[in-house]
Amino acid sequence: MSGAAGPAVEQPASFEFEPEVWAQAEKIIARYPEGRQQSAVMPLLDLAQRQHGWLPQAAIRCVAEKLGMPYIRAYEVATFYTMYNLAPVGKFHLQLCRTTPCWLRGADELRRAIKDRTGLSHAGVSDDGQFSLVEVECLGACCNAPMIQINDDFYEDLDYESCTNLLDRLAKDDVPAPGPVNGRRFSEPAEGRKTLLDRVEGAS
Ligand code: FES
């Protein structure tokens, strides 16, 4: 297992956007008024991360230069948000929410399932490179707590067993549909809808 919380020790010497990725970046930059291009720092860091797989310091420097801002300002953004991975991550990057609603609803059990299935008990990458883990603050899906973000998707209403099943499937590159795993519909009450009972299913 290797650590993934802080910046990677081994860093690439340089980074440059691929032409098609830079074309996307230019469209984003163009949304902002002249002189306000720095407002594009978050989506550009995200594009750089998606291109490279994680966010090396050379990519942060490249984004800062493209936007005409000091490196330290872009670095502050990249190190503040857990959505930016400053070191390599696994094929399936698990962001385990540990804030109060998820914790009260069983985040400790998900943590135990992750440790039992992947060997990861804290931030790091599994030996086979299939999984990485980081603990994060509220991801805004508290009504479906406890939950984990895996890559770009939320998996919700988990418990030890369903979390283990989820990880078993991912280990085989079998990616389930995101959302509640217990049959619940979106964030409706767990026992079914309580209001608007005369609403016709599928009607707007
Ligand atoms: S506390 Fe976990 S999503 Fe809000």
Structural domains in the chain, sorted by start: 19-80 (1.10.10), 92-180 (3.40.30.10)
Report pLDDT digits (tens) over 91-140.
999 999 999 999 999 999 999 999 999 999 988 999 999 999 999 999 99
Ligand 1: nearest atom to the Cα of 101? 1
| Per-residue DSSP letter, 39 | G
Query: Does the structure show a pLDDT above 50 at 2?
Result: no
Cα of 144 to ligand 1 centre, how many Å?
8
Q: What is the pLDDT of residue 82?
A: 93
3-state helix, strand, coil in the chain (%, to 5): 40, 10, 50
Buried b (16+ CB within 10 A) or exposed e, 117-140: bbebeebbbbeeebbbbbbbeebe
Ligand 1: nearest atom to the Cα of 141? 3
Contact 5 CB / ligand 1 (< 6 Å): no
pLDDT tier for residue 201 given thresholds of 50, 70 and 90 = low
Report how far residue 157's alpha carbon sits from residue 142's, in angstroms, rounded to the nearest whole number.
10
pLDDT tier for residue 144 given thresholds of 50, 70 and 90 = very high
Asked if 154 and 95 count as a contact pair (C-beta separation under 8 A), the reply is: no
pLDDT tier for residue 3 given thresholds of 50, 70 and 90 = very low
Q: What is the pLDDT of residue 122?
A: 86
DSSP E strand boundaries for the chain: 92-97, 124-125, 131-136, 148-150, 153-156, 179-180
Cα of 105 to ligand 1 centre, how many Å?
10
Separation in Å, CA 156 to CA 57, 186, 193: 33, 9, 18
Q: Which residue among 135, 139, 157 is best mutated to probe the pocket of ligand 1, counting the most ligand atoms within 8 A of its Cβ?
A: 139
Contact 133 CB / ligand 1 (< 6 Å): no
Contact 25 CB / ligand 1 (< 6 Å): no
Mean pLDDT for the stretch of residues 34-49: 97
Mean pLDDT for the stretch of residues 180-195: 88
pLDDT tier for residue 200 given thresholds of 50, 70 and 90 = low
Asked if 127 and 80 count as a contact pair (C-beta separation under 8 A), the reply is: no
Q: What is the pLDDT of residue 6?
A: 79
Report how far residue 115's alpha carbon sits from residue 98's, in angstroms, rounded to the nearest whole number.
15
Please provide the average confidence, as pLDDT, over all residues in the chain. 94
End-to-end CA, the chain: 49
Query: Does the structure show a pLDDT above 80 at 203?
Result: no
Contact 107 CB / ligand 1 (< 6 Å): no
Query: Does the structure show a pLDDT above 60 at 192?
Result: yes
Asked if 129 and 183 count as a contact pair (C-beta separation under 8 A), the reply is: no
H or E element at residue 64: helix 57-67
Query: Does the structure show a pLDDT above 50 at 46?
Result: yes
Cross-strand pairs, 92 = 131
Q: Find the helix packing angle between 71-80 and 57-67, rounded to 10°.
A: 130
Contact 43 CB / ligand 1 (< 6 Å): no
Report pLDDT digits (tens) over 13-35.
999 999 999 999 999 999 999 99
Q: What is the pLDDT of residue 32?
A: 96
Q: What is the pLDDT of residue 182?
A: 94
Contact 123 CB / ligand 1 (< 6 Å): no
Dihedral sign from CA coordinates of 110, 114, 120, 124? negative
- For tokens 């297992």, name the residue: 1
Q: Which residue among 147, 148, 158, 187 is best mutated to probe the pocket of ligand 1, counting the most ligand atoms within 8 A of its Cβ?
A: 147
